Amino acid sequence: MFLILATFLTSAILYKILFEMLIESIKKLPNDANYDEIMESIYVQQMITKGIEQLDKGEFISHDDVKERFREWLK
């Protein structure tokens, strides 16, 4: 029960933080920003958040591995 509550609270806090970050990024747009620009801002923020989550989970490729893959691809 405690784990469920802790997970819920963590999710709620994370949601609030992400929402505030999203609002701040939208506020930085020019006043005449159109729908596409707003959606792009939301998308970029979403991808940054996803990338940070992947890094936290250890889901990344080292620089050396990337260089090795490029060597293979460029043969």
Model-level pTM greater than 0.85? no
Local structure of 48: helix, strand or coil: helix
Domain containing residue 24 = 2-73
**How many residues appear in the chain?**
75
* Structure tokens given for 37: 């620009």
Task: Tally the domains of the chain.
Answer: 1
Whether 9 has a pLDDT exceeding 60, the answer reads: no
Helix axes 2-27, 35-56, angle to 10 degrees: 140
* pLDDT attached to residue 30: 93
